[in-house]
Structures are given as C-alpha cells and as structure tokens.
Amino acid sequence: MMPVFDFTGIVEFDGLTTNQNYDYQIGYVFAAGEPGDLLAGSNYNWDIAASGSFRTAPVDSTDSMSFVFGSCRYLLRLFGGTFFDRRGDKTFRSINRQVDAGQSTDFLLMIGDQIYADDLAIISPDDKVDEFLSRYRKVFGQEHIRELMGRLPTYMTLDDHEISNDWSQDRFKQESDLFAAAIHAFQCYQLVHGPGFQFSNRAKRSDTPHRLWYRFRHGKSAFFVMDTRTERFPSYSPPQMISPEQMTALKNWLVAEGQESNYKFVVTSVPFFPDTHAGSEDKWSGFTDQRLEILDHIREKCVSKVVFLSGDVHCSMAGQLKCSADPNFLVTSIISSSFFWPYPQGQASGFKLRGRLAKSSDTDYTLSRFGKVYSEDNFTRLSTGGGELKVATYERKGAHLGTRTLTL
C-alpha cells in the first residue's frame, strides 16, 4: 500500500467457497523497508487488528437475494471545515441494525454522490488530490458507514459531486487537473470496492483502469454498473451520455444475460425515467437518442426483467414503462435518494409520472404504476424471488416508509 494511493490497496483471494461466511482480520504497519523484509520473522500483535466478516456470493442457481441501495450522502462541514456533521451516518447505523436483527443482506450498492467534493460549489470546493483524499477519509471514516462497508460487499459508481456539480467531459480541457485529482481519489476509495480493476496482466498490479463501468453477478441476477459521468458530452450531436464502447457492451450484456439471468439490473447514477416537468439536460431526458437506443434494443431483443437503479434527485420512487404495441415489453425504474440531504428534497409534483415518455419516437413507451414518492432521507432494500421484486423504503433513522411489490 503506497502513499500515492493514500495507502489503499487491493488483495485478491482465489478459491473461496461460494455462499459461505468468512471471518477476517486486517492490520497494518508503517515502515521504510521492503515488504519481504518486514514480514520475515515478524511477530505482530493481532489483538489490535480490525476484524469483520462477510459472505461470498451464491451459485448461479440461486434466485432470491436482498440488497440495500441508495445515493447522495451530503457531509456538512461546519465551523470552517473543522467539524463534520454526523447526521448522515445515522442512515448507515439503521442499515447495520437491520443486519444485526437478522435481516438477510447480500451487499450494499452506492450509486453516486458518496461525497460532495464541491460543497454545493460555494464553500471552498476541493480541486487538489490531497483535498479529495482527505474528503474520502472523513466520509468513509465515520463510525457506522465504516462498520457497514467492513461487513458487506460494497459496489459503487460515481455521479457529478465526486468531481464537480453537473460535470461533463465537455469541461475537461478547461479543468483537466480537477478531473485527474477527482478520478484518482475515486479509484482509491470507490472503484476498489468492486471488480472495476480488471488487470490486463495479472502479474502487474499497477495497472490503471481504462474504464469506470463494470459488471458483476449474484446468483441468477446480473448487474451492469454504468459510468454516466466521464463519457458524457452534451455538446455532441446528438448528445452522448455513454461512449459507443459502453453502449455496445451494455447491449451485448442485455442479450447475453437475457438467456442466463432472472433479473438484469442496470445501475445508472441519474434517473433513466421518469423525467422532470422542468426538464433536465443532466438526466437521461437530455440524452433521448441513446435512451431510445437502449429501450428499442430491449424491446426488439425481447429482454425481460430489466430494472434500472438510480439516484441523484433527492427522493425515492418506483414505477414501470410499458409499450402498447408490445404487451411483453416491461422495464422497471427504481430511484433511491438521498441517504442524507439537509436541504429541500425532491417532490412528486416535479416529475412526469403518467403518460408517454418524452421524445419516444414512434414507439409508445408509457409510464405506469408509479406509486408514492418519498421525500425524506432514506435508503431502499430490494428483495427478489419468484419473478417479483419487493421494494421497501426506510427513513434515515430506520422507520419503514412503505413497501411495493412489482411483478416483472
């Protein structure tokens, strides 16, 4: 573990048994020698090492699972940045309490704005790598989130506030140093949690990922975690949310997993649908050509049980998209936001929850079954099984806000 990566690192364990509980201990030492010299003949005191446990993913035949997901955890800096608000950490305390109470939880999915490096673009936004790294240490170092990520497999993707508000790659030429610092810190503290580091040479452990999107599986469920920030170019004609490479990979994945997986979850930090009444060029509603390309592909290839998971908009909801010309077409959207946001939240009145999806060409993609919109700080627990998806939403301190069961 090297200073340039803020002493973060990756260890690969081969040959673990599937669907098995494992205990672990981990400690560290500071020294100037080579690793081999440090370990030879050393007698470390493991009583002071951190400990935890986790469970490996099940075999492919497993149909049921339960996981928690959400987004947008603001860490309010007070008194000139010398004190960080701990209210947001109570969200993760509530999740820990569910796990402690015996609620089966396979993993945690955090889908954007894990940090607010720009502090609303007002209060001394981070723009240097040391500032980004320090921010991550503060955010992930709080008691309850640290405990949660130490016990559950955790998968992450970024949104704009990991870099700067409403970030797109159109800004790269003018703000390349900011981008480089932000992405370096993101790789150290977020991408390392999942399979995003796919080494081109397994013997070479210094490879830098050439993309931030990735895939993983859990039993009979498959996940495609998108990068909707570092490949977007609103200035293109038509506007580009994701690169051609990512688009091709997503479309191929949908077809391949359509034959193999019961559930196909597409993770996108900004909502795929519904759109807002005011319109937003920052969401998929500002990239309608690529959105239609994905929807048409799902319909034409008869891909079933596709669920889009997203955050960003500081409220939570669930609904579906149908097509009158194709009764077999059904796509689900579930939004979970925010873990903690100490300002006004999104409201149902701000979204188009009925009618035809805007700019849906000649195909009649119609919004359906949108239920209650939750405007409190919250997290969402998804449970699968028997062709159904149970969507349970909980308030930051653990109160149950409501549950919906969607047939896929």
Mean pLDDT of 319-344: 94
List the CATH code of the domain at 60-407: 3.60.21.70
Instruction: For residue 193, name the pLDDT band (cuts at 50, 70, 90).
Output: confident
Task: Give the separation between CA 365 and CA 324, rounded to whole angstroms.
Answer: 7
pLDDT of residue 360: 61
Mean pLDDT of 376-396: 94
Q: How buried is 203 (Cβ within 10 angstroms: 0-12 exposed, 13-18 middle, 19+ buried)? A: exposed
Over the stretch 41-59, which tens digit does the pLDDT of each residue have? 567 788 888 898 999 998 8
Task: Give the separation between CA 264 and CA 280, rounded to whole angstroms.
Answer: 26
pLDDT of residue 386: 80
Average pLDDT score, the chain: 90
Neighbour count for residue 254 (Cβ, 10 Å): 20
pLDDT of residue 90: 95
Closest CA to 269 of 116, 115, 159: 159
pLDDT of residue 390: 96
Asked whether residue 402 carries a pLDDT value surpassing 70, the answer given is yes
Strands (E), 213-329: 214-218, 221-225, 263-267, 306-310, 317-323
Lowest mean pLDDT among 24-28, 180-184, 224-228, 327-331: 24-28
Asked whether residue 171 carries a pLDDT value surpassing 60, the answer given is yes
Burial 92-129 (b: 16+ CB within 10 A, else e): bbbbbebbeeeeebbbbbbbbbbbbbbbeeeeebbeeb
With a CB cutoff of 8 Å and minimum separation 6, the contacts of 127 are: 177, 178, 181
> CA angle, 400 as apex, 394 and 405 as ends, to 5°?
85
Closest CA to 323 of 286, 368, 280: 368
pLDDT of residue 327: 92
With a CB cutoff of 8 Å and minimum separation 6, the contacts of 168 are: 229, 232, 233, 234
pLDDT of residue 39: 64
Domain boundaries defined on the chain:
60-407
